[in-house]
Amino acid sequence: MTWRASVLTLFPEMFPGALAHSLAGRALQTGLWSLEAVNIRDFACDRHRTVDDTPFGGGAGMVLRPDVVDAAIASVADRRPIVFLTPRGRTLTQRDAERYTAAPGVILLCGRYEGVDQRVIDAHTMDEVSIGDYVLSGGELAALVLLDAVVRLLPGVMGAADSAFDESFSQHLLEYPHYTRPAEWQGRRVPEVLLSGHHGAVAAWRRAEAERITRERRPDLWAAHTVASPAPAP
């Protein structure tokens, strides 16, 4: 069954964007996944195609109307999870990408202006997700990021079946360093263990490097890793 993505947006022309290229683009062309961009403005109720209004309680900016957003959702709604891309959401993780991959697809709501009326978010039990602690002009770029993270995990998208297993975050660890030819470049040599042909030693080095880098750069991930993979008892 094809994994389906529906994106609700005021700027459908932004899709597929970067997703039309590389692994995601090839998978889109071969039908491993599908993408539809739904224009929220098509569900406006007046001749001016109004999708927003001023916030109750005052304040700057405009808010997307719940009735318009609800109608847009109704046009694509099924058993897929509905994700609202918003700076206030929990940070997107690799575990989220794996979870969405296991679903039949996703429905992504891209916010604009000051946001979306909370009532429609609550009514659909939306999954509120952020791609980082910063503010974008809208949710479209965040939707592209989420889709890229998910689509590459779909069966048949990546060339090697074990490619995802060794990547950053797959085991709460950042990825180890990579090297290729030439063996010496500008006076810098590839670590000897990688030239040894000893697969066990190479695997041990890579694991040690992944652990070292994670400890140094992401103590939060290291803490999660130690909980998930406690050291063996002496």
Task: Round to whole Å and give the CA distance between 36 and 193.
Answer: 48
**Helix 140-151 to helix 94-102 angle, to the nearest 10 degrees?**
70
Give pLDDT < 50 ranges for the chain.
Answer: 162
Residue 76 pLDDT? 98
Q: Which residues contact 32 (CB under 8 A, 6 or more apart)?
A: 2, 3, 151, 154, 155, 156, 157
Residue 19 pLDDT? 98
Q: For 124-163, where are the alpha helices, taking DSSP H only?
A: 140-151
pLDDT in tens, 98-155: 999 999 999 999 999 999 999 999 999 999 999 999 999 999 999 999 999 999 999 9
Residue 1 pLDDT? 86
| HEC assignment per residue over 60-88 | CCCEECHHHHHHHHHCCCCCCCEEEEEEE
SS3 content of the chain, % helix, strand, coil (to 5): 40, 20, 40
Residue 159 pLDDT? 72
User: What are the φ/ψ torsions at residue 13 (nearest 5 degrees)?
Assistant: -70, -10
**Count of CB atoms within 10 A of residue 148's CB?**
16
Contact of 45 with 95, CB cutoff 8 Å: no
Residue 172 pLDDT? 85
Domains of the chain: 3-151 (3.40.1280.10), 168-228 (1.10.1270.20)
Q: pTM for this one?
A: 0.89
Task: Round to whole Å and give the CA distance between 95 and 161.
Answer: 18
Residue 41 pLDDT? 98
